[in-house]
Amino acid sequence: MPVEVVNWNPRKRRVRGPLGRVIPRRPPVNNFGDLLGPLIVEELLARQGIDPAGTSIRHRLLSVGSILRLANDGDVVWGSGVNGKSLDLEYQFSDLDVRSVRGPRTAEFLRSRGISVPEVYGDPGLLVGVLWPRESLVAPRLSAGVTLIPNLNDVEKYRGHPDFWHPCRPLWDTITRIANSEFVIGSSLHAVVLADSFGIEARLIGSDHEPPFKYQDYYLGSGRSGYTAATTVDEALAMGGEEPLEWDPAGVLGAFPYELWAP
C-alpha cells in the first residue's frame, strides 16, 4: 500500500560475519505486540470503507510499539512510543507529524527535541477490545485461568512455566488466548495492554532486559498514576491485578489520520 504502516518485525541473520550476508535470513520475528499496529490500522480503514491502496501519495505511519527509533522526517506518528534502551541514541528525524503518542514520557522525549506533540495519549493496542469485544472471542473450550506472556527477551526465563505462552505464537491465537484468560501476567507490555483492553486483570512482571520507560509511559498514558511490577510469577499471582483501566478511546480514535488514504 502507498501508506507504509511501520512496525518492528526483522528477519534476523542466521550467522554472523560475511557468511551471514549470503545465507537466507530467518523468518520474521512476528512478536505479537509488534503486529498489532498493521492489524488495527487495517480494521479502522475497513470500517470506514477506505481502500488501503486508494492513494498514490506515499506516507509512512508509525503506530503500535516502541518504534520511534525507526522514524524519519515527515513520518506520521499515531500512538507510538520510545524504547528506554534507545533514549541516548541518535535519531534520524527533526520533523514529525505527531497525532498521538503512547504516553507523556514519550511526549516529553519528543518535545525536548523540538517536536510538537498534542496531549493525546494511549497505546492503540487498547483499541483491540473496542474493535473486537471480548465476548466475540470467548469460548468455553478455550477458557484459561492464568496466562504468562514474557517480553521476547525474557522467554527463556519462563519457558518451563505451565502457564507460559510464547509471544511469537500466531497473532490471533494470542489475542484469543488473552481474551479467554482470567488473569494475565508477564513482562510483555502488550500482553498487559490487551488484557486491559478486554477488562481482564493483569500484573506486569519486571523485565530482566527492558528498562521501565515504556511501562511507565503506557500506564501514565492510560490514565493511571503509575504501576507496581511484580518480581516473580508467585508475587504477581499474590498481588492480583493492577489498578483497573479508566481510559476513553475517543481521543486516540479521533486522532487517527484517515486523510493519509485520501485519493
Instruction: Compute the mean pLDDT over every residue in the chain, rounded to the nearest whole number.
Output: 93
How high is the pLDDT of residue 152?
94
DSSP E strands in 81-225: the ranges are 97-101, 144-148, 181-186, 201-204
Indicate the number of domains in the chain: 2
In a domain, residue 244? The reply is no
pLDDT at 1 over 60: no
pLDDT by residue (tens digit) across 184-233? 999 999 999 999 999 999 999 999 999 999 999 999 999 999 999 999 99
Residues 138 and 175 in one domain: yes
pLDDT at 13 over 70: no
Residues 131 and 120 in one domain: no
Which structural domain range is residue 111 located in?
3-124+251-261
In a domain, residue 245? The reply is no
In a domain, residue 74? The reply is yes
In a domain, residue 218? The reply is yes
How high is the pLDDT of residue 210?
95
In a domain, residue 90? The reply is yes
Residues 114 and 195 in one domain: no
Residues 116 and 183 in one domain: no
Residues 11 and 118 in one domain: yes
* Average confidence (pLDDT) over 139-148: 92
Residues 119 and 134 in one domain: no
Q: What is the pTM of this model?
A: 0.92
Residues 17 and 116 in one domain: yes
How high is the pLDDT of residue 90?
86
